[in-house]
Structure formats: C-alpha cells, structure tokens
Amino acid sequence: MESLSERLYRYLNNHQGEWFNGATLGELAHNVGYKPDTASRRLRELHEEGRIEREERKGRRAKSVWYQVKITI
C-alpha cells in the first residue's frame, strides 16, 4: 500500500508547476482515510527532505501554506 507521503508527492508531481493550498491537500488525504493534520505533517516532512516547495501566503484573514513539487532540470 502506498504511504500518504508518496500519495501526496505523486499528486504534486503529476501537477508540476501548480501550487496547492495545504487545506486542499488535507481534504484529498481525508478522502482516502487520513486526518488533514496527518497530511500537514507529511507535507512538512516532504519539504524538509527537499522534495517539495512550501510558501506561506497572507490572505485577508489569515496566512495559508501552499505547496508544489520541486522542479528539477
């Protein structure tokens, strides 16, 4: 069975060049049986491993975190 980390990485890799809000990725994880908080941890780990990029953006009310696969040439 594929781990949540690998699922998230594969999803981001299949959408190279697109940024995804952490909440959206949390919903995707929830749809396959994981808690959104678990998705947040796995995304943070993928970023720490250097596999994905992370960007904090300020909205009107709060900040949000966005992710995309790290594009290598």
Number of folded domains that form the chain: 1
Orientation of helix 22-31 relative to helix 36-48, angle to 10°:
120
Structural domain containing residue 13:
4-69
Which pLDDT tens digit goes with each residue over 31-61?
A: 999 999 999 999 999 999 999 999 999 988 8
Q: How confident is the model at residue 73 (pLDDT cuts 50, 70, 90)?
A: low
| 3-class DSSP state of 11 | helix
> Which CATH number does the domain housing residue 47 bear?
1.10.10.10
Six token digits for residue 51: 């596999």
Report the pLDDT value the prediction gives residue 1, as an integer from 0 to 100.
81
Segment 7-19, tens digit of pLDDT: 999 999 999 999 9
User: pTM here?
Assistant: 0.90
